[in-house]
A = this chain, B = another copy of it.
Amino acid sequence: MQFLPQTTLFEIEEGDKLRPKFNEHDLIPCITQDHASGEVLMLGWMNPEALAKTIETGLAHYYSRSRQKLWKKGEQSGLFQHVISLIIDDDQDAVLIKVKVDGGASCHVGYRSCFFRQLARPTADTDFSLIFLEAQKTFDPVKAYGLAASSLPSKSTRVAS
């Protein structure tokens, strides 16, 4: 699958053809949203192959920056993401997919959403305390992956601990 090139600003921003723009690492960010609840589940990255596979198969594929390879979401955990719709932003450098998630969870730490912690005070905060938005994990990452979540590569490059 070969994507169409980025052409004029008008065609990109107001045209009716997908012309995705990948960054200097050949990646485009993808926001993944639960199609029914509207909950944002994760922000992943796709290279052209991952975006093509997502469109071809209807299952979300990403590019794992830590493992540096194509990543079919759910291949280890069984928590596949079925794409209901794929949406592009104005300048076509960000993708939004609305998905139905097998098992209802998307975060490798075990929560429904990767966005499970909120700044306790949204303004004028100097303490940076976070509150947890989900009372408990949806699944046990140890059982799902067969090892501790913290030993897993995540969607981003790991920080040395």
Assembly CA distance A7 to B21 (angstroms)? 33
Q: A12-31 toward B: CB 8 Å interface, digit per residue (1/0)?
A: 11111111010000000101
Q: Is the interface of A mostly helix, strand, loop or mixed?
A: loop
Residue of B at shortest CB range from A154? B91
Q: Which residues of B contact A3 (CB under 8 A)?
A: 128
CA distance A25 to B15 in the complex (A): 30
Contacts of A15 in B (CB 8 A): 130
Task: Give the residue name and chain of the B residue nearest to A30 (CB).
Answer: B43
Chain B residues, Cβ within 8 Å of A128? 3-4, 17-19
Q: Does A6 contact B (CB under 8 A)?
A: yes
Per the 8 Å Cβ criterion, residues 1-59 of A in contact with B are: 1, 3-4, 6-10, 12-19, 21, 29, 31, 33, 37-40, 42-43, 55-58
